[in-house]
């Protein structure tokens, strides 16, 4: 039948259900590492501290930058709350775009059904 949407096609309109990737390092390690860096005087070299903790130096650097943004010490990157809000808004935007496409397709289908003389 022309114009009908199959079940497989409906799966495409709903979007994929995905799970976040598992974290490589536990949150406790992350919090402890950031706390250790922030309380140390003088500030340790991040690469050396990362080696001692057994984490990648760029991961530690990113954790420190994010903690500084969350406490308001940095304005150049988004806070964790802002990142979560942005992700939620992007997800909602994608859902609305999918819904609009479904409505547009359904509208065209029903318009063709109501007015068979209309060229396709």
Contact 87, 58 (CB under 8 A): no
pLDDT in tens, 32-69: 999 999 999 999 999 999 999 999 999 999 999 999 99
Chain centroid to Cα 83, Å, comes to 8
The CA radius of gyration of the chain, in Å to the nearest whole number, is: 25
CA atoms within 13 A on the CB side of 10: 6
What pLDDT does residue 12 have? 47
| Model confidence pLDDT, tens digit, residues 65-110 | 999 999 999 999 999 999 999 999 999 999 999 999 999 999 988 9
* Res 16 pLDDT > 50: yes
Q: How many whole angstroms separate alpha carbon 62 and alpha carbon 75? A: 14
Contact 51, 57 (CB under 8 A): yes
- The alpha carbon torsion through 33, 36, 42, 43 (nearest 10 deg) reads 20
Find, among 82, 77, 56, the residue nearest to 66 by Cα.
Answer: 77
29: CB partners within 8 A, 6+ apart: 53, 55
């Amino acid at each position: 039948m022309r114009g009908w949407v199959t079940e497989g096609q409906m799966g495409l309109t709903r979007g994929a259900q995905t799970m976040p990737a598992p974290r490589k390092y536990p949150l406790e390690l992350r919090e402890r590492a950031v706390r250790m860096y922030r309380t140390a005087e003088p500030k340790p070299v991040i690469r050396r501290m990362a080696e001692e903790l057994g984490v990648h130096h760029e991961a530690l650097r990113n954790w420190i930058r994010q903690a500084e943004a969350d406490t308001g010490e940095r304005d150049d990157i988004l806070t964790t709350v802002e990142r979560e809000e942005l992700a939620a808004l992007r997800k909602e935007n994608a859902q609305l775009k999918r819904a609009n496409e479904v409505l547009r397709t359904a509208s065209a289908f029903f318009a063709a059904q109501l007015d068979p003389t209309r060229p396709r």
